[in-house]
Amino acid sequence: MTDRAPSLQAWYGGTFDPIHYGHLRAVEALAKEANLTQVTMLPNNVPPHRPQPGASSVQRKAMVELAIAGNPLFRLDDRELQRPTPSWTSETMAQLRRESGPDAPLAFIIGQDSLLTLRTWHRYESLLNCCHLLVCRRPGYPVEMKTAEDRQWLAARLASDARELHRQPAGKIYLADTPLYPISATDIRTRLARQQPCDDLLPQAVLDYIHHHALYR
- The residues binding ligand ATP (CB under 6 A) are 14-17, 22-23, 26, 110-111, 113-114, 136, 138, 181, 183-186
Cα within 13 Å of Cα(15), Cβ side: 16
Q: What angle do CA 10, 112, 161 make, to 5 degrees?
A: 55
Which is closer to ligand ATP, CB of 64 or CB of 162? 64
Which is closer to ligand ATP, CB of 52 or CB of 98? 52
Q: How far is the CB of 175 from ligand ATP (least distance, A)?
A: 12
Which is closer to ligand ATP, CB of 116 or CB of 170? 116
Which is closer to ligand ATP, CB of 6 or CB of 193? 193
Long-range CB contacts for residues 187-190, cutoff 8 Å, separation at least 24: 188/18, 188/20, 188/216, 189/17, 189/18, 189/54, 189/216
Which is closer to ligand ATP, CB of 128 or CB of 185? 185
Q: How far is the CB of 140 from ligand ATP (least distance, A)?
A: 9
Q: How far is the CB of 159 from ligand ATP (least distance, A)?
A: 18
Which is closer to ligand ATP, CB of 23 or CB of 166? 23
Q: What are phi and psi of 10, to 5 degrees?
A: -125, 145
Q: How far is the CB of 106 from ligand ATP (least distance, A)?
A: 16
In the chain, the amino acid numbered 17 is: D
The whole-angstrom separation of Cα 182 and Cα 139 is 6
Q: What are phi and psi of 75, to 5 degrees?
A: -145, 175
The whole-angstrom separation of Cα 95 and Cα 213 is 34
196 Cβ contact list (under 8 Å, min separation 6) = none
Q: How far is the CB of 39 from ligand ATP (least distance, A)?
A: 12
* Short-list 66, 70, 54, 68, CA closest to 15: 54
Q: How far is the CB of 3 from ligand ATP (least distance, A)?
A: 28
